[in-house]
Structure 1
Amino acid sequence: MAVGAAAAALLVALAGCSAAGSDADAACEDPSPAPAAETALMPEGLSFDKIGTVTHVEKADANTTVRAISAKPIDEVTVLIQDAVTSMPAGYRPAGMDNEGDEAEVFFNSGAIAAGQAQVREADCEGKWNIELVLIDPGAVSSPAPAPDPT
Structure 2
Amino acid sequence: MVERATRRPSPRSTARVAATALLVVLAGCSAESGDDADAACSPPRPAPPAETALMPDGLSFDRIGTVTRVVSTEGHITVRAVAAKPLDEVTVLIQDAVTAAGYRPAGMDNEGFEAEVFFTSGSYAAGQAIVRRAECEDRWDIDLVLIDPDVVPAPPALPTTTTETP
User: 3-state SS of the aligned residue for 1:64?
Assistant: strand
Percent identity between the aligned chains? Answer: 68
TM-score (norm 1): 0.79
Q: CA offsets, 1:25-81, max 9 Å, x none?
A: 111111000011111111111100000000000001210000000000000000000
Mark the runs of 5 or more structure 2 residues left unpaired by the alignment.
Answer: 1-27, 157-166
Does residue 77 in structure 1 map to residue 90 in structure 2?
Answer: yes
Structure 1 residues 27-42: aligned runs within 5 Å: 27-42=40-55
1:117 correspondence with 2:128: yes
Secondary structure at 1:54 match in 2: strand
1:141 aligns to what SS in structure 2?
coil
Structure 1 runs of 4+ aligned residues shifted over 2 Å read 141-145
In the alignment, the residues of structure 2 paired with residue 19 and residue 94 of structure 1 have an alpha-carbon distance, to the nearest angstrom, of 44
CA distance in 2 between counterparts of 1:34 and 1:82 reads 21
Q: Is the CA contact 1:120–1:129 (under 8 Å) kept in the aligned structure 2?
A: yes
Shift of 1:143: 6.7
Determine helix, strand or coil for the equivalent of 2:38: helix
Out of 45, 57, 65, the position equivalent to 1:52 is: 65
Stretches of structure 1 that go unaligned for 5 or more consecutive residues are 1-14, 146-151
Question: Partner residue of 2:113?
Answer: 102
Over the aligned positions, Cα root-mean-square deviation in angstroms equals 1.9
CA distance in 2, matches of 1:68, 1:48: 8
TM-score by length of 2: 0.72
| AA of the residue aligned to 2:91 | T
Residue aligned with 2:51, SS: helix
Partner of 2:141: 130
The answer (yes or no) to whether the contact 2:56–2:149 under 8 Å persists in 1 is no
Moved more, 22-31 or 114-123: 22-31
1:20 equivalent in structure 2: 33
Name the counterpart of 1:12: none
> Who is 1:8 aligned against?
none
Report the Cα offset of residue 144 of structure 1.
8.7
How many residue pairs get aligned? The number is 128
